[in-house]
Amino acid sequence: MNTPFPFYLDDDRKNIIFILVVSLFVVAFLSIYQPAFSQHVPLSVAQNFLFGGVTFAILFIDIILLPKFFPKAFDNFTLGKYILITILHLVLIGIVSTIIDELFICPQLTLWQNIKGANLQVALTGFMPVTIIFLFLKNKMLQQNLKSALTANQQLEKIKTLKKEVTVKPGANSLIVLHSDTSETLSLHLPDLLFIEADDNYATVVWKNGQGIQKKLLRVNLKNLETQINNSFAIRCHRSYIVNVYAISNITGNTNGYKLQILDTDHLIPVSRAKGKELIEKIQQLRNVMELA
């Protein structure tokens, strides 16, 4: 449920067009399917468009307006949030459809009959577009992640080429001293740092020097280490990881986001959705630094 998931399309204009298409689908589906109520009287063309209008209004409120009034609720959008907002779409459309049935279309039926009839109609009509939209958005996210990963890997290849042409790494003389909560310290050159993995109040620092891959466990949380390093190329890419951008050998992208392959190791480090864009920008910055070196 915490898997990253796109919140529909990229801007309001595209989302409005998307909402209009879904609403027209509802009109077409009702016209072809002709769902009948208990008295077997099919909906008229005007009534089909009325329910299409209800669909448009509810989706417009949920997709266009709600994120403007409650922006924090839509930050770091996930599959769980997508399922919840889809349920909200269906529940609200069901409520409004019940009111329309009760007042205008089937006033002779009991309220419970209209509730069952309206929500059955919403479920039958909504099943196909909900399924298609889910698959479309999942594929869209996959394509975006693959494209971004491809671009980042092209930048990394350029960095590797530039590395052969320069003799000094960016920040090669930047010796850092990491302090733990127990007064233990670790000194290393920042370019040698590969990544740091956190587990509650402990962190494992992994770096490479002339003796190979080195590890050291420190009693300190990741936020504290992030403050101590304070370097633009050591980025916190996940709640449990800090990675040296210079140590990334390859980036893969899928519907769950990005994973980072670390140089000379078999480690694959996840990237949180919130940090994906920042990571790609850091790789571009590193390439620029290398070109100026």
Using one digit for the tens of pLDDT, what is the confidence trace for 52-78?
Answer: 999 999 999 999 999 999 988 887 788
| Partners of 198 in beta bridges | 203
- In total, how many domains does the chain have? 2
In sequence order, which residues have a C-beta less than 8 Å from that of residue 141 and are 6 or more positions away? 4, 5, 6, 255
Q: Are residues 190 and 132 in the same domain?
A: no
In a domain, 154, yes or no: no
Cα 247 to Cα 215: distance, rounded to the nearest angstrom? 15
Domain final residue, candidates 128, 143, 158 = 143
Q: Are residues 200 and 277 in the same domain?
A: yes
In a domain, 198, yes or no: yes
Q: Which amino acid, one-letter code, is at 256?
A: N
At 292 the pLDDT is 63
Cα 289 to Cα 181: distance, rounded to the nearest angstrom? 34
In a domain, 5, yes or no: no
Domain span including residue 58:
12-143
Cα 100 to Cα 107: distance, rounded to the nearest angstrom? 9
At 161 the pLDDT is 66
In a domain, 158, yes or no: no
Q: Are residues 123 and 184 in the same domain?
A: no
Q: Which CATH number belongs to the domain containing residue 241 in this structure?
A: 2.40.50.1020
At 112 the pLDDT is 93
Ranges of residues in the chain whose predicted pLDDT is under 50 = 37-39, 166-172
DSSP for residue 78: B
Q: Are residues 61 and 177 in the same domain?
A: no
In a domain, 61, yes or no: yes
In a domain, 151, yes or no: no
In a domain, 155, yes or no: no
Q: Are residues 171 and 285 in the same domain?
A: yes
> Contact at 8 Å (CB) between 289 and 170?
yes
Nearest to 82 by CA among 10, 9, 143, 134: 134
In a domain, 159, yes or no: no
Domain final residue, candidates 143, 174, 196 = 143
Q: Are residues 131 and 182 in the same domain?
A: no
Q: What's the whole-model pTM score?
A: 0.62
Q: Are residues 22 and 123 in the same domain?
A: yes
